[in-house]
Structure 1
């Protein structure tokens, strides 16, 4: 593999922004890829994938490199050199790269790989929390699965096409996909490619959405003509899936506290041809009160630790602090209490998170059902989705019905 200096320097810049400036990895990669318009697809892939890889294995690589935060530029080059040696890449003769003890790096890797917190590269507190919550066996398997690179999964927009037709259209565009058993609208890319530049995407024929995430809207059991409320809609991935399941019939209200996210949702809905979507910013408690007892279906895709989606957000491991779990559990509890009041008698509610921790999931639902606000609800069914079992993101979803 031939290494180009400007690409490696781009990776070093990206790591500095992420590790030292505490910026989000996805935004940093987007910014660094704009450095040079002459970079081709392979160049851009090298920067993005190398950056994410080093972020994912940060603890392991920094231990091997014997460097500690804050990382100066020579430290970042040492971390990069560890990454290269462990991938069998011959190091270039550059002044930025000191003579690297290859055998020592491999020896330390073998030694540290016997210890889970180093092998899977997580902070001590998170490793302890996960083992206590899930048990040693499941946590070990799940951590390993969450360190694998995520597949690129598409959701065919059934307002405009079918999965079979989309498969054929993409094949003509040299994008090869395969169907996923048990996920009716999903197509998985056989090889990674930039699908956002395709005419099929611009025409709204699909969205990029992980297979596990696609289960959530299906779980809500929506019907055309209903009033459905997506309470934490964000940029609308699940909102658009709900619109497709509703066949554009009925009213779909997308709520969020961030107006910029709702603006993005509007743009995406227009592209998708989702005409029954109405966005409302939650800028006061009146927005929720006006909707009390009015919805056939309510989706609460709650804020969470995001531990189920570490494959695509590896920097979350390093940004999260031990006290965050306690704060997010309190937020989830409040949201369930407030937003459940929008469900009308006989209506249904799905509470979902992209976490694998029982504290945010089963225990949160149990607490709600035992509360004053939850006494009129019953649990119909719930589902834990583990990356180590399903091969896709970790999720939890619970379907409740109001009596």
Structure 2
């Protein structure tokens, strides 16, 4: 593949912004595209893939590169992919044989898998024999998974519509509303997206709303709703009958929910900002179903968010575990007696998952709940994101 100065410059500038200005990769890519409107689909694909893969393998690239210059780091990445470099002055001193020899000499797993040492130690201590394979899986490129909006179209109908426009998809087993793109492409410009026939949502994430066992006419609270993706799924499963209350402590996160709901043909979602304990107390024992898709480390979604591993620390994970337990303790009061609560994370660490549920059940607030079942979804087993989903029932008495 031939390299072009303007697109390589775009990659290098983006990498600089991500690592030296601590920006999020997806936002940087979005900004890069807006600044280069003349790029075609092939250019955009090259830039996005190069940025994500450099972020994913950042530690390994830095270990092997003879220089910390960003162009030299890009050149090292490019040679590691088995490609040839053009004779640009920016790549002077880079030789494929030397790069490959350095790579072959590396033995440490944390460097080979390109993660911080502390993360490797934590993963091995908590996941033991499963950590090595999980880590390898999480370093693969994420598939683009869609959730079919069953209010408007069947999965087969959407597959056929896509096929007519040259978009190839397949239906993974065990996920009744999921479609996977055979190759990455921009599907947000399609008429199917404008018509609200699908949302982008990983297959593992689609298991969360399903675990709530919702029915039309119920009152459901999504208490950590963010941009509302799972609220939309819940409302769809309820056939747009009943009420879904999408809540979050960050008002800006909820702003797109109403727009997305309109596109999806959904009318039962109401958004509300959590302004403190008073908001929660007013909703005491009001929900038939409660979803707590809590803040977490995000270690289960490193495939699609590889920059997460460079922003985390043992201290940040410890802090988020405190928040998780506080949410369980305080928000669980919103469930009616006999109602269901689902606790979910996109983490693979037991300390954020089953350990948190056990701690809650052993507390005073958790005495009125019982664990019905939980799912520990590892990327190596599902092929999709790592997730944890626990279904708890509030006792009648």
TM-score using structure 2 length: 0.98
Please say if 1:57 is aligned against 2:51: no
Q: Name the CA distance, whole Å, in 1 between partners of 2:85 and 2:172.
A: 40
Q: 1:131 aligns with which of 124, 135, 146?
A: 124
Offset at 1:66?
4.5
Match of 2:109 in 1: 116
Helix, strand or coil: the match of 2:47?
helix
Contact residue 151 and residue 265 of structure 2 kept, 8 A: yes
Match of 1:103 in 2: 97
Q: Name the CA distance, whole Å, in 2 between partners of 1:141 and 1:401.
A: 34
Q: Which moved more, 1:254-263 or 1:86-95?
A: 86-95
1:193-227 CA deviation, whole Å, 9 max, x = no partner? 11100000011000000000000000111111110
The number of aligned residues is 395
Match of 2:80 in 1: 86
Q: Name the CA distance, whole Å, in 1 between partners of 2:46 and 2:95.
A: 24
Match of 1:170 in 2: 162
Q: 2:70 aligns with which of 62, 65, 76?
A: 76
Q: Name the CA distance, whole Å, in 2 between partners of 1:309 and 1:246.
A: 27
Please say if 1:200 is aligned against 2:192: yes
Q: How does 1:167-246 map to 2 (within 5 A)?
A: 167-246=159-238
Helix, strand or coil: the match of 1:196?
coil
Match of 1:285 in 2: 277
Match of 2:139 in 1: 147
Contact residue 72 and residue 90 of structure 2 kept, 8 A: no
Offset at 1:159?
1.2
RMSD: 0.9
Structure 2: tracts of 5 or more residues without a match: none
Helix, strand or coil: the match of 1:351?
strand
Detail structure 1 runs of 4+ shifted over 4 Å in the superposition: none
Please say if 1:395 is aligned against 2:396: no
Helix, strand or coil: the match of 2:390?
strand
Contact residue 257 and residue 282 of structure 1 kept, 8 A: yes
Q: Name the CA distance, whole Å, in 2 between partners of 1:277 and 1:85.
A: 50
Contact residue 212 and residue 392 of structure 1 kept, 8 A: yes
Q: Name the CA distance, whole Å, in 2 between partners of 1:286 and 1:266.
A: 24
Q: 1:344 aligns with which of 329, 336, 345?
A: 336
Offset at 1:134?
0.5
Contact residue 373 and residue 390 of structure 2 kept, 8 A: yes
Contact residue 173 and residue 198 of structure 1 kept, 8 A: no
Offset at 1:147?
0.4
Q: Name the CA distance, whole Å, in 2 between partners of 1:370 and 1:381.
A: 16
TM-score using structure 1 length: 0.97
Match of 1:17 in 2: 17
Contact residue 254 and residue 271 of structure 2 kept, 8 A: yes
Please say if 1:302 is aligned against 2:294: yes
Offset at 1:192?
1.1
Helix, strand or coil: the match of 1:374?
helix
Match of 1:8 in 2: 8
Q: Name the CA distance, whole Å, in 1 between partners of 2:343 and 2:165.
A: 38
Contact residue 296 and residue 344 of structure 1 kept, 8 A: yes
Match of 2:346 in 1: 354
Q: Name the CA distance, whole Å, in 2 between partners of 1:65 and 1:215.
A: 42
Structure 1: tracts of 5 or more residues without a match: none
Offset at 1:115?
2.1
Offset at 1:35?
2.3
Helix, strand or coil: the match of 2:392?
strand
Q: Name the CA distance, whole Å, in 2 between partners of 1:105 and 1:93.
A: 16
Q: Name the CA distance, whole Å, in 2 between partners of 1:191 and 1:313.
A: 18
Q: Name the CA distance, whole Å, in 2 between partners of 1:272 and 1:261.
A: 18
Helix, strand or coil: the match of 2:207?
helix
Q: How does 1:240-255 map to 2 (within 5 A)?
A: 240-255=232-247
Match of 1:27 in 2: 27
Q: Name the CA distance, whole Å, in 2 between partners of 1:365 and 1:395.
A: 14
Offset at 1:101?
2.7
